[in-house]
Structure 1
Amino acid sequence: MKKTVLAHALTVAFSATLAIGGHAYAASNSAGSVGGRAAIGTVITLENKEIGLSRTITVDKAGTYSVPQLPPGHYTLKVKLPNGQTEERAVEVQAGEGSIAHFEDSARVVVTGRVTRIDTKSPESSMVLSKAAIDRLPISRDVTAVALLAPGATKGDTRIGQTALRAGNVPSLGGASPAENVYYINGFNVTNSLNGVAFNQVPFEGIAQQQVKTGGYGPEYGRSLGGVLSVTTKRGTNEWKGGANVIWSPESLEGSSVYAEKSPTTGKWNLVKRPGGTDDLQANLWVGGPLVEDKLYFFGLVQGADIKRETYGVSTQDTMKSSTPRFLTKFDWNITDKNLLEFTAFSDKTKDKQYNWDSPVPYGTTKGTDKGVDEYTTGGENLIGKYTTWLTDDLTVSGLYGVGKYNRKSNVASAACPYVQDNRPTTPVPMGCATATSITDPNANDKRTAWRLDAEWNLGNHGLRFGADNEKYEVVDGTEYPGVVRYIVRTLADGGRLSNGYVNTSGAPMDYIDARTFKNGGQFTTKNSAYYLEDNWQVHKDVMLSLGLRSESFENLNAEGKTFIKVNNTIAPRLGVAWDVGGKAQTKVFANAGRYYIPVMSNTNVRLSGAELDYRDFYAFNGSFGTDKFELPGQGAQLGSRVTTSDGKAGDPRSVVDPNIKPMYQDEFIIGMEQALSDRWKVGIKYTNRKLKKVMDDVCNNEGAYNWAIANGYSDAKANVLAGAIGHCFLYNPGGDLTANVDFGDGNGLTSVTIPAKDMGFPEKPKRTYNALEFSFERAWDGKWSLGGSYVLAYSRGNTEGYVKSDIGQDDAGISQDWDYPGLMEGANGFLPNDRRHTFKAFGSYQVADEWRVGANLLVQSGRPVNCLGYYDGNLDGVSIEYGSASFWCNGKLNPRGTLGRLAWTKDVSAQLNYSPKWQKGLSFQAEVLNIFNERTVQAIEEAGETGVGSPSPSYMQPVGLQNARRFRFTAKYEF
């Protein structure tokens, strides 16, 4: 028996090597599949008349069949059994999912597909919504809002991915940080790989389907520890169709804008109304149809916008205007019945203009001095080509090539003005003429050039799949403070200590200036490649076993084009099993285990391998601000010495990174069950365990390096050289041994030095675990009503969030302040920012009458943990204090992560009313209210609790992230 099993395994492996892949029931992120069992010799024809696609196959001797790489849509499945019996059914093909249809004999014909909504051949955790389903729900019109309907999805901190004009809007999926998802459009990766917290988007009206994978995805997917968000766009059909709509969210009906004000008696923060809001008017025009019937199709969409947002602050006010058009176009060419060519082009490039004024009255509408106009450009153009060929009934190959651009340009009128802010009041007050907190390189942009190849080969009980992909990501980036220096006025309590060691011994509180100089930038390149192999083995007619392997390679280059990180062939195994209990596609038990890697983000190139200048000086404040346009705070005597973090010089690429470094990766285990009930119902239960196994971040612990060197016989001079090499900030895997290439100036060039993990001084190794128990339910739309939802009990715990640090709103992927020094990590283990213990979601729609439909969406979710971050006052090192309010030491004691309570629960109810009059076919009117009760729950706070050791911060606990105000949205649409 052992010889037989071994021979079989070798045969499968050898066949896979020759085959370049395949999967009997595979579904890519831009296509679907139909497969199942049938009597040998059964002839099966799948036809989609809308797009002129027809595929006919004959069931092989194994009694199974598969039709992969099908464009999403409505198909007619025609079956001719060997005994002559015929059957015809409708099957809905969804992108990223497999529809199951069994025809085993003349007595039992079962077609499942999208009727039961259970893909019994897949162990993945996935949610797919068509545009029609999305339109029946009152949600924001963006990809993140759709993703947040999925179980285990949580909205990330609004400071993560924040631009100058817009709050961050990225989800946390399955306990991962918001920077650890991957985004696709028509199979092309559109993730902004600078730091992972932005992505290109097609106009929302151009979406045909959106899929959200929250776990257990196969080896064709990588570069993600959170989830996979995939959009399939609309396309032309054999019938010319088109339409237009107008969507308006008026400012006059929006819930009041608010600001946070601290009560002088209770010390609590209250939300106070102020003027301002957003008026959002958008219009879409689209058309699609056959340029050549059954052969060549076209779809095109243009979106126009007129958006105006007014903001009134404590000392400034601004008006943002945006009117840049966006577009989407898609061509589909059925070259033959077995060859399909697709081309997609879209742009989400947006130019926003911000008009700025001083405000004579806090939060008032009277305009003061004109401070100029700033212009910001985001997004860009994307071109995607895909070719699919069905070489035989059993072998399908597809190839994709794309180029994507993402702008991050700025043209700030006040770029020469230093940023000045008075932090002595409870609400910080901007004082200078600067209109931006930081300035981006006017030429900042990103460009991705990528290709991928996927193939599927059906060998009866074995479905072999193979794929390879490669992408080159080029970045132009640079950031500096306006006027190069940022000035913040703070108060230091009597006896308080600054980060440079200066102690206030005056006998009274004193005001001081924190002057920070920061500047970096350059041009950088990142290269990522991968290949995968998977065997989907039908070990029993009702049991599918998926055995997969993915190998990924990463290479990061510095501004001179020299490699400073290169990791080849990381191995990520994937194992899944799906059991169709009873063989009727009604009950599925599934489980999977896998390893997932994420690439080294380009932000690491910029911050680590580029030239970066970063230092702080401290001065006494004389109580006055300048009278010229720069309004610089009056500087008194310098307090203590300068604190230098980076000297402005780029280090040797070989000396800034551990040569043995491994990318960040995570292991995952999922087990669950889905049950189809009568009348289109489905329920499920699932347990997920995710554990971060390797972290990649920078360390700056020069003290630890110096002490180790002295203890191991190095001279003081060499120990200082080693300390300087690490203190420049050095990239490695925290928790492990650190190997550095150091030039000691002895004529021997670079010398390899290894410092054991225990001598790095960190109190714990990196940890991040996510455990969740999920209950879900769904009742599919039948033209009358639908309902879906979930309850998730989740625990997200550890001492690192991952690629971002939501505690302080830092989205420096791979270069966060975590792990810089041991003191910053003391007390860091606890419940993480994305820990939401309880989450209940419910959403659905109901056709009240022929012309009237209603929809609703409900979210109830517990709040995030609260921390107090302060100046380090422990004894693990003497440098962490220089980071300011950054450690879990606060107000004289250690407050471990998440031990100071939680924020309030979020409760959000939204509703929709749709009227489609019979008197004009294709015409509809829709009114929606998002957040009906105008709940303004605080979802993030200022967690910095000190302005110096022993000096409580007046802005601690100030709300910095709120639930969106109530919004009304009106839509008029006509389709033909």
Structure 2
Amino acid sequence: MAVNRTKQAMQRTALSVALGMCFSTVAFAQQSTGSISGQAPAGSTLQITNPDTGFSRSVTAGADGSYRFSTLPTGTYTLTKQGADGTTEVREGVRVLVGSGSTVNFVTAEGAASTLGTVQVRGTAMLNPIDVSSVESTTILTAEQIARIPVARDTTSVALLAPGTVRGDSAFGNLASFGGASVAENQYYVNGFNITNSFRGLNFAQVPFEAIAEQQIKTGGYGAEFGRSLGGVVSQVTKRGTNEFHAGGNVFFEPKALQAHTRDTLYANPLTGEYGTLRSDNSEDESESWVTSAWASGALIQDKLFAYGLIQYGKTESDEWGSVLSNQNLNEDQRDPTWLVKLDWNISDRHTLEFTAFSDKEKTKQVAYANTPGETDRGDKIGSFFSEQGGENYIGRYTGYLTDTFTLSALYGHSEFSREQYLRYPDGSKASYGGDLNNPATGCPIIQDSRPLAQRQLTGQYRSTCNITGTTIDAENGEDTRDQYRIDAEWALGDHLIRFGYDRDDYESVAGASYEGGRIWQYSTTAAGVNRVREQIVNQGATVEVNQEAFYIEDNWNITDNFLAYVGLRWDSFENLNGDGDAYVEIENQFGPRLGFSWDVNGDSSLKIYGNAGRYALPLTSSVAIRGASASVFSRQFYSYTGVDPVTGAPLGAVPISPIQYINGEFGGSKDPKTIASTNLDPMYQDEYILGFQQALTEHLSFGVKGTYRKLKAAIDDNCDYTPIAHAAEEAGLDYILPNGGFPYCRMFNPGEDAVYITDLLGDGNYITTEVDADLLSPQAKRTYRALDFTLDGNYDKFFFQANYTLAYSKGNTEGGVKSDIGQDDTNVTQDFDYKELTVDTYGYLPNDRRHTIKLFGNYQFNEEWSVGGNFIVQSGRPKNCMGMLDLNDAPPVRDPTGKIIQTNFAPHPYGSSFMRCGTTTDGGVDDATVVAVPRGKAGRLPWTNNLDLNVAYKPSAMEGWQFKVDVFNVFNRQKVTAINETAEINPTGQPSPTYLLPDSYQTPRYFRFMAQYDF
């Protein structure tokens, strides 16, 4: 049968137009705007108009027929083509989403003018479109789509819908891991402004959720415009005003009466791994929350000046009873008074201004009550813990469409983030820390009883009845301040789209921490039976800075009509300043090349083959400087004692039996910035390679496969072992002095690389440069991520869905910025490489390794009134470890006649239970009779989890403007273990730990969320 090529070309054009307009397409990297581009007869005039705001622009198609509208505010546009012959064609409903581009062609694939006439597009945008103009891996969700899916109303939960993302360890809060990276390696943006909290990289500003219009999740392959991330990039744009006045309000309510209780926590049998004895009774735990919002938007000047405003208030109250061995339980009250204002000014069709301001302050009061161990009762009030975090953010942005082919934008943003904490005791007295190294925090001290079990049973457990937190408290004046400036330009030159820009990001942190009560008293008994108590004091406080800047340039080159080549170049510079304002790390012009291609195989956007390769760098966080590079106090001293205070738990009759030891330099002494880091330090960076394809199976259905490979090329961490430098000094015949002010306890370096240290080895004020061989310090830092993502996306009149399956392998000897094994949040200075002994047997599958992940979510609209949505995830469990002591004595254990080990020759490493070795049995249990190496991830895996969320929404036709919705999360109340205690031996005795395998977190129990909303 003969093929009608004209008809075939027209069908491809129609499909291309539909895909380009109905489905979001991810174009050249944009942080808060999008674009429209395509082909039209040469010399024709193209005009876009946003019916909601009156925004309008016109361009002329070039000699090759190409046209482009760049840096467009998100929204829905009407596109009109005025031909030289006077003919007019209109495309209505062209969607532009954040960081995306829509392709609209007015000619067929063979170059003839199309005759589609006026096209109207309605419906929900496809979630994972075929975008032949992009090499990135991106998912975009609009507020409308998010509202239809049963998902928690926070940035991380939405990001976790994207392929290649997994939830991070509960120790770090509600954060996601992207592509095997740690949760501290992501970047977050709002309206083009970086809102990542760079103090530790473990927080970001929280835009009032109701104000979010769209969220873009970049999981890989992002262009040179983006940097300072090895994980992913989340970019949000907020809602804005239009010519039509809108207002409304809603309330979300999660009642405690319909919440299932978290499973009780049970001890694991150390020999079998089976759970049995009760550790934590959670039957009385409960939580209730609600949040309400009110908003209004409209035109202050028709077609010119628009405003959107929102106020939001939330409250969560919860009771936590904790361990049955605990002597306290908690009541927490959290309040979130937040707001947002967005102004947009269309000065002319060539110049626009926008301004965003929002606050995300959060205030928490936690009250501790006395508890009878073994009971879920509530006695006298012990005290209250107050904290405040968050602050205000201000963003201004100018966009100038200076010519049809050249666009310029400039942004300035300022943010403040509070980290205030203090305590109050029942008598009204206040305990806090002012950041003064000479004055520790006030209040009741922390008590740790590490004496043998038999001794504790005989005398009773030593504890404090007045300590509230059991940990450090931050300085009352703690806060972070950011000032960001950036300029971006875009220039269309024939087949080339050139983009370039400059970004300056200055971040200052005022930070400090001290133990509640100023110290920890740790009771222990030596092998000789001597009772002693160790006092440990840690005081930190400084004002530190991180200054970052970057230049980038990129070229998107249409080599042919069907083949796009991308070349991006980026240069990052990082400067870290200590508390004295001196730079201790400076890295200039770290080069980050990016290459990619996109092949529109059939020329109609129905089949795309794409790939990219890139290098990405990550700076040091500002928290590194607080203790490691600034003046601080970290001291230890042993005492004998005659008794124990029954209230505070502090020793009575304490007499020093050892000299005071300063762990990190002299008391409160400043650290010379020259000595903090290796002089040949490289930034933390990794290389990434992606290859994939997407194919339209029908007009409504597409399928894709993507392979990703990431390899960490360099890491930054600290090393606290002075013996490698001492060895070099001995080789040089120098009579060195052990760590002092000019010879800091810990130093920054690139694990696996030779280090060049400048230290005062002789203690005479003269600095000596010493090159230390990598073999003496640590092995190479390793982390690889290999993954295959399979996606299936559908979009129909009443139904949309996305399904994806990810097969992933995350392997190495370092997780990255943080350490989930022990919940360590000291970003960039974990204990991974502090001593070479700590690196033994640490290569294996990492904590964020989830081998199999299946995600399916979507919504079905029955009619104008009723719809249902679902969100289903199945995931394999993370690897388990068995971590124990390292005996440096290497003498065989001494046993009594019964075979029990007597620890008389036990000489443990000072890092306690931090090594990949412990007493184990063949079935993974713990036995103190045999100590063997247990390499990373070889202690088994946590169980698979599955979670189903459902919702139903109702918009009664008889009650115009009203809508109601019920979400049910974890419908079947699955509560599998998602994290455990991996420390198998007690520090410092080396005995089996009864808390090994103890669950640290479960799946969130079933709960209901109700919504009522009114719009007018």
Same fold by TM-score greater than 0.5: yes
Please tell me whether the aligned partners of residues 130 and 694 of structure 2 are also in contact (alpha carbons under 8 angstroms).
yes
Aligned partner of 2:559 in structure 1 is 539
Aligned partner of 1:483 in structure 2 is 517
Percent identity, aligned pairs only, is 39
Q: Secondary structure at the match of 2:602?
A: helix
Aligned partner of 2:178 in structure 1 is 173
Aligned partner of 2:434 in structure 1 is none
Is 1:549 aligned to residue 569 of structure 2?
yes
1:708 shift after superposition: 2.9
Does the C-alpha gap of structure 1 residues 748 and 353 become closer, same or farther in structure 2, counting only changes over 3 Å?
closer
Aligned partner of 2:4 in structure 1 is none
Please tell me whether the aligned partners of residues 462 and 649 of structure 2 are also in contact (alpha carbons under 8 angstroms).
no
Q: Structure 2 matches for 1:150-229, cutoff 5 A?
A: 150-160=162-172, 168-229=173-234
Measure, in 1, the Cα distance between the counterparts of 2:622 and 2:907.
27
Please tell me whether the aligned partners of residues 79 and 86 of structure 1 are also in contact (alpha carbons under 8 angstroms).
yes
Aligned partner of 1:8 in structure 2 is none
Q: Structure 2 matches for 1:558-707, cutoff 5 A?
A: 558-617=578-637, 626-628=645-647, 630-632=648-650, 644-647=662-665, 648=667, 649-707=669-727
Please tell me whether the aligned partners of residues 46 and 58 of structure 2 are also in contact (alpha carbons under 8 angstroms).
yes
Deviates more, 1:722-731 or 1:963-972: 722-731
Match of 1:462 among 479, 482, 496: 496
1:847 shift after superposition: 1.1
Query: Any idea what the Cα deviations from partners look like across 1:202-237, whole Å, max 9, x if unmatched?
Result: 110000000000000000000100000011000000
Query: Any idea what the Cα deviations from partners look like across 1:403-423, whole Å, max 9, x if unmatched?
Result: 011111101225411122457
Does the C-alpha gap of structure 1 residues 363 and 33 become closer, same or farther in structure 2, counting only changes over 3 Å?
farther
Please tell me whether the aligned partners of residues 383 and 466 of structure 2 are also in contact (alpha carbons under 8 angstroms).
no
1:596 shift after superposition: 0.2
Please tell me whether the aligned partners of residues 106 and 113 of structure 2 are also in contact (alpha carbons under 8 angstroms).
no
Query: Any idea what the Cα deviations from partners look like across 1:632-658, whole Å, max 9, x if unmatched?
Result: 367999898876532443310111111
1:544 shift after superposition: 0.8
Query: Any idea what the Cα deviations from partners look like across 1:156-204, whole Å, max 9, x if unmatched?
Result: 11112xxxxxxx0110000000000000010000000011010001110
Please tell me whether the aligned partners of residues 43 and 58 of structure 1 are also in contact (alpha carbons under 8 angstroms).
yes
Does the C-alpha gap of structure 1 residues 783 and 292 become closer, same or farther in structure 2, counting only changes over 3 Å?
farther
Aligned partner of 2:334 in structure 1 is 322
The residue identity in structure 1 corresponding to 2:917 is: W
The residue identity in structure 1 corresponding to 2:1000 is: V
Measure, in 1, the Cα distance between the counterparts of 2:375 and 2:72.
56
Q: Secondary structure at the match of 2:830?
A: coil
Please tell me whether the aligned partners of residues 250 and 292 of structure 2 are also in contact (alpha carbons under 8 angstroms).
yes
Is 1:98 aligned to residue 113 of structure 2?
no
Measure, in 2, the Cα distance between the counterparts of 1:751 and 1:835.
43
Q: Structure 2 matches for 1:895-914, cutoff 5 A?
A: 895-914=934-953
Is 1:738 aligned to residue 752 of structure 2?
no
Aligned partner of 2:9 in structure 1 is none
The residue identity in structure 1 corresponding to 2:517 is: G
Please tell me whether the aligned partners of residues 485 and 517 of structure 1 are also in contact (alpha carbons under 8 angstroms).
yes
Measure, in 2, the Cα distance between the counterparts of 1:430 and 1:40.
83
Please tell me whether the aligned partners of residues 349 and 381 of structure 1 are also in contact (alpha carbons under 8 angstroms).
yes
1:848 shift after superposition: 2.3
Measure, in 2, the Cα distance between the counterparts of 1:252 and 1:417.
37
Measure, in 1, the Cα distance between the counterparts of 2:803 and 2:791.
6
Q: Secondary structure at the match of 1:582?
A: coil
Measure, in 1, the Cα distance between the counterparts of 2:561 and 2:572.
33
Is 1:419 aligned to residue 431 of structure 2?
no
Measure, in 2, the Cα distance between the counterparts of 1:620 and 1:907.
53
1:27 shift after superposition: 4.4
Is 1:863 aligned to residue 880 of structure 2?
no
Match of 2:466 among 433, 437, 449: 433
Please tell me whether the aligned partners of residues 446 and 467 of structure 2 are also in contact (alpha carbons under 8 angstroms).
yes
Q: Structure 2 matches for 1:839-858, cutoff 5 A?
A: 839-858=853-872
Aligned partner of 2:964 in structure 1 is 925
Aligned partner of 2:8 in structure 1 is none
Q: Secondary structure at the match of 1:77?
A: strand
Query: Any idea what the Cα deviations from partners look like across 1:527-586, whole Å, max 9, x if unmatched?
Result: 000010001111111111111100010011111111111111111000010111111011
Does the C-alpha gap of structure 1 residues 24 and 40 become closer, same or farther in structure 2, counting only changes over 3 Å?
farther
Measure, in 1, the Cα distance between the counterparts of 2:833 and 2:149.
43
Does the C-alpha gap of structure 1 residues 874 and 46 become closer, same or farther in structure 2, counting only changes over 3 Å?
farther
Does the C-alpha gap of structure 1 residues 474 and 360 become closer, same or farther in structure 2, counting only changes over 3 Å?
same
The residue identity in structure 2 corresponding to 1:325 is: P
Query: Any idea what the Cα deviations from partners look like across 1:858-879, whole Å, max 9, x if unmatched?
Result: 1111111111111223699999
The residue identity in structure 2 corresponding to 1:139 is: V
The residue identity in structure 1 corresponding to 2:101 is: G
Measure, in 2, the Cα distance between the counterparts of 1:837 and 1:355.
41
Q: Structure 2 matches for 1:521-532, cutoff 5 A?
A: 521-532=541-552
Aligned partner of 2:246 in structure 1 is 241
Is 1:756 aligned to residue 773 of structure 2?
yes
Measure, in 2, the Cα distance between the counterparts of 1:263 and 1:885.
18
The residue identity in structure 2 corresponding to 1:527 is: N
Deviates more, 1:323-332 or 1:268-277: 268-277
Q: Secondary structure at the match of 1:706?
A: helix
Please tell me whether the aligned partners of residues 54 and 337 of structure 1 are also in contact (alpha carbons under 8 angstroms).
yes
1:103 shift after superposition: 2.1
Aligned partner of 1:5 in structure 2 is none
Aligned partner of 1:284 in structure 2 is 293
Q: Secondary structure at the match of 2:409?
A: strand
Does the C-alpha gap of structure 1 residues 552 and 880 become closer, same or farther in structure 2, counting only changes over 3 Å?
farther
Is 1:946 aligned to residue 985 of structure 2?
yes
Q: TM-score scaled by structure 2?
A: 0.87
Does the C-alpha gap of structure 1 residues 349 and 222 become closer, same or farther in structure 2, counting only changes over 3 Å?
same
1:605 shift after superposition: 1.4
1:959 shift after superposition: 1.1
The residue identity in structure 2 corresponding to 1:965 is: P
Deviates more, 1:24-33 or 1:336-345: 24-33
Measure, in 1, the Cα distance between the counterparts of 2:670 and 2:763.
21
1:613 shift after superposition: 2.2
Measure, in 2, the Cα distance between the counterparts of 1:283 and 1:744.
62
Does the C-alpha gap of structure 1 residues 586 and 706 become closer, same or farther in structure 2, counting only changes over 3 Å?
same
Measure, in 2, the Cα distance between the counterparts of 1:784 and 1:422.
63
Does the C-alpha gap of structure 1 residues 707 and 460 become closer, same or farther in structure 2, counting only changes over 3 Å?
same
Q: Secondary structure at the match of 1:57?
A: strand
Match of 1:403 among 414, 422, 425: 414
Measure, in 2, the Cα distance between the counterparts of 1:109 and 1:612.
74
Deviates more, 1:954-963 or 1:527-536: 954-963
Q: Structure 2 matches for 1:707-856, cutoff 5 A?
A: 707-710=727-730, 712-715=731-734, 717-718=735-736, 720=737, 728-745=745-762, 749-760=766-777, 762=778, 764-780=779-795, 782-856=796-870
Measure, in 2, the Cα distance between the counterparts of 1:198 and 1:806.
16
Q: Secondary structure at the match of 2:177?
A: strand
Measure, in 2, the Cα distance between the counterparts of 1:82 and 1:217.
39
Query: Any idea what the Cα deviations from partners look like across 1:768-798, whole Å, max 9, x if unmatched?
Result: 0000011011113x45111112100000000
The residue identity in structure 2 corresponding to 1:410 is: Q
Q: Structure 2 matches for 1:39-438, cutoff 5 A?
A: 39-89=41-91, 90-104=93-107, 105-108=111-114, 117-160=129-172, 168-262=173-267, 268-269=274-275, 272-313=281-322, 314-360=326-372, 362-365=374-377, 367-413=378-424, 415=431, 416-422=443-449, 431-436=464-469, 437-438=471-472
Question: Any gaps of 5 or more consecutive residues in structure 1?
Answer: 1-22, 161-167, 493-501
Measure, in 1, the Cα distance between the counterparts of 2:706 and 2:336.
44
Deviates more, 1:305-314 or 1:284-293: 305-314
Please tell me whether the aligned partners of residues 151 and 774 of structure 1 are also in contact (alpha carbons under 8 angstroms).
yes
Does the C-alpha gap of structure 1 residues 969 and 849 become closer, same or farther in structure 2, counting only changes over 3 Å?
same
Query: Any idea what the Cα deviations from partners look like across 1:360-383, whole Å, max 9, x if unmatched?
Result: 354524x32212222100111000
